[in-house]
């Protein structure tokens, strides 16, 4: 064989294998990497780890997961595969910097009960429009005008509790429900209050149930109540249209939209606002009463701050001492008590988002369609962020928290638009409670119940009584609970 032929015979296979090797390397380098899912367990089929989460201290559930798997892990709750994240950086990634990759959502049961047109489930132009309409009714410029009406509701509520044993959480739910109706329907709410209350109280019982629509199930009963609730709202809308008057409440904002919301969209969003405004605020108020009772020096400071407001009104000739928006802006210590309660109690342990496409985060795959839950509770209870996190210490809020470390109302474009209203109604109620009354807890003062919000045992049973006019300036723990 000639040398040239031999060379060709030997060289061609080598060239072929070199070409094949480079082709394979190029192919694997250009192919998408198959990222691993976050570590963790998906629990039982369908029900996942729902019962483990909602039947115990959420601190224990989340902490065990975080200690075992790190700051990102997978689980399965309420019929949904989920990725939970527990660092300020991850919360910012999901809620702010990459918010377009994670749409707001809830489990199927909540989504069907609230209505698919509710603001919680949307992004883009529709969400922007809804948020603008809600903020129009809930920004300080709007709600400052209803302070006297909120104060009237607060005073009536407290007077009905005087001298009797009450379930604090249940009574606070009634108070916050009435304030929610006031902000939504204005003075019209009185006409429909009892029917709305009856239907909504049935509806709420199924919020965290499995979406099994069979006769006798909580979900089935809730969906029937939801249908009746929509019928009541249709009557209210019809009556408003006949009056042909402008209203400054939330319903007026929805109906005044130039592009026009459908009746279904209005109904879904009103039910959604009631859901967002009621139980969470009632839970905060319940915890505040517990923490004030356990911390006499804090209660004293709040009382003196509120008494100073009353004293200034007397000096200015306001004999009725009616609260104003300006008064609530001077309640600095009381506002810190609210902030610290929101942190310690962490009423909303997490929020729901859903990945709209496959997303990579810290080397892990978050699959499209999976729920993503930023864990506010873990962030609020991190000793690296808040020293002695279990200690109730409102003074820590004398310094503004670092960004993305205090998230009681969420963050980003989907943060709660009603947070100013929630803080306002709490301040107004606390003004009258601390200046005129004291309360004592009956039964267990240490237990906590879950389902779904963390609450003091049995909803914090208390007995309310008028303060003695000659109460001393300095209180002992016992005297404050008399």
Decide if 441 contacts 481 (C-beta within 8 A): yes
CB atoms within 10 A of CB 445: 15
> What local confidence, expressed as pLDDT, does residue 451 receive?
63
> What local confidence, expressed as pLDDT, does residue 218 receive?
87
Structure tokens at 386: 């808040």
**Rg of the chain (C-alpha set):** 27
Which of 108, 129, 123, 94 lies closest to 351, judged by CA? 94
Q: Does some domain include residue 284?
A: yes
Decide if 411 contacts 353 (C-beta within 8 A): no
Q: Does some domain include residue 108?
A: no
Q: Does some domain include residue 5?
A: no
Helices (H), 346-442: 376-380, 419-436
Domain count, the chain: 1
- Calculate the alpha carbon distances from 443 to 2, 74, 446, 457, 480 in Å: 105, 38, 9, 9, 17
Q: Does some domain include residue 39?
A: no
Q: Does some domain include residue 405?
A: yes
**Pairing of β 455-456 and β 364-366:** unpaired
What DSSP letter does each residue of 108-151 carry, written as one string? HHHHHHH-TTSGGG--HHHHHHHHHHHHHHHSHHHHGGGHHHHH
Q: Does some domain include residue 263?
A: yes
Task: Name, in order, each residue with C-beta under 8 angstroms of 147's C-beta and a sequence gap of 6 or more.
Answer: 323, 324, 325, 328, 424, 428
- Calculate the alpha carbon distances from 416 to 201, 257, 466 in Å: 22, 21, 35
> What local confidence, expressed as pLDDT, does residue 302 receive?
98
> What local confidence, expressed as pLDDT, does residue 319 receive?
67
Site of tokens 């998230």: 407
What DSSP letter does each residue of 302-353 carry, written as one string? HHHHHHHHHHHHHHTT-TT----HHHHTT-HHHHHHHHHHHHHH-SS-B--E
* pTM, 2 dp: 0.84
Which residues are paired to 373 by β-bridges? 84
Specify the CATH number for the domain of residue 413: 1.10.630.10
Decide if 465 contacts 439 (C-beta within 8 A): yes
Which of 207, 205, 364, 190 lies closest to 272, judged by CA? 207
Decide if 86 contacts 72 (C-beta within 8 A): yes
> What local confidence, expressed as pLDDT, does residue 258 receive?
77
pLDDT along the chain (482 residues), means of 10: 38 39 37 77 84 74 88 87 93 94 81 86 89 92 93 96 94 95 85 88 80 85 92 91 85 86 93 88 96 96 96 81 93 98 90 92 93 92 94 97 93 90 97 95 80 83 82 38 34
C-alpha span between 90 and 71 (Å, rounded) = 9
Half-sphere exposure of 149 (CA within 13 A, CB side): 20
Structure tokens at 142: 């709007």
C-alpha span between 285 and 176 (Å, rounded) = 10
Decide if 49 contacts 82 (C-beta within 8 A): no
Phi, psi of 390 (to 5 degrees): -85, -10
> What local confidence, expressed as pLDDT, does residue 482 receive?
32
> What local confidence, expressed as pLDDT, does residue 111 receive?
81
Range of the domain at 206: 123-347+400-480
Q: Does some domain include residue 232?
A: yes
Q: Does some domain include residue 3?
A: no
Number of H helices, E strands in the chain: 20, 12
């Amino acid at each position: 064989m000639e040398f040239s032929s031999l060379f060709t015979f030997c060289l061609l296979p080598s060239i072929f294998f070199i070409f094949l090797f480079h082709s394979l390397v190029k192919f694997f380098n250009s192919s998408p990497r198959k990222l691993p899912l976050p570590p963790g367990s998906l629990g039982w089929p369908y029900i996942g780890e729902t019962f483990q989460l909602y039947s115990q201290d959420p601190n224990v559930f989340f902490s065990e997961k975080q200690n075992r798997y790190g700051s990102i892990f997978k689980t399965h709750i309420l019929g949904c595969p989920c990725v939970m994240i527990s660092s300020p950086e991850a919360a910012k990634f999901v809620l702010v910097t990459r918010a377009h990759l994670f749409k707001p959502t809830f489990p199927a049961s909540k989504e069907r009960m609230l209505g698919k047109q509710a603001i919680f489930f949307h992004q883009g132009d529709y969400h922007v429009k809804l948020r603008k309409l809600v903020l129009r009714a809930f920004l300080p410029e709007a709600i400052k005008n209803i302070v006297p009406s909120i104060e009237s509701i607060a005073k009536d509520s407290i007077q009905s509790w005087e001298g009797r044993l009450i379930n604090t959480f249940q009574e606070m739910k009634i108070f916050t429900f009435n304030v929610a109706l006031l902000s939504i329907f204005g003075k019209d709410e009185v006409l429909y209050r009892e029917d709305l209350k009856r239907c909504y109280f049935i509806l709420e019982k199924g919020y965290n149930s499995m979406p099994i629509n069979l006769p006798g199930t909580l979900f089935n009963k809730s969906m029937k109540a939801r249908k009746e609730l929509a019928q009541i709202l249709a009557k209210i809308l019809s009556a408003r249209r006949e009056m042909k008057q402008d209203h400054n409440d939330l319903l007026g904002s929805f109906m005044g939209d130039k592009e026009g919301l459908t009746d279904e969209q209005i109904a879904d969003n009103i039910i959604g606002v009631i859901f967002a405004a009621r139980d969470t605020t009632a839970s905060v108020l319940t915890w505040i009463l517990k923490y004030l009772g356990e911390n006499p020096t804090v209660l004293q400071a709040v009382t003196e701050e509120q008494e100073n407001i009353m004293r200034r009104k007397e000096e200015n000739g306001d004999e009725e001492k009616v609260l104003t928006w300006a008064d609530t802006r001077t309640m600095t210590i009381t506002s810190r008590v609210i902030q610290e309660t929101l942190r310690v109690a962490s009423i909303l342990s997490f929020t729901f988002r859903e990945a709209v496409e496959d997303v990579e985060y810290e080397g892990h795959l978050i699959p499209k369609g999976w729920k993503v839950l930023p864990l506010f509770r873990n962030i609020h209870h991190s000793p690296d962020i808040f020293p002695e996190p279990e200690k109730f210490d409102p003074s820590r809020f004398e310094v503004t928290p670092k960004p993305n470390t205090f998230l009681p109302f969420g963050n980003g474009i989907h943060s709660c638009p009603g947070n100013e209203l929630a803080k306002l109604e709490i301040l107004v109620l606390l003004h009258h409670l601390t200046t005129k009354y004291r309360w004592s807890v009956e039964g267990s003062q240490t237990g906590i119940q879950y389902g779904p919000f963390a609450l003091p045992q049995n909803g914090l049973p208390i007995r309310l009584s008028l303060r003695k006019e000659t109460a001393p300036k300095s209180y002992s723990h016992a005297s404050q609970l008399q």
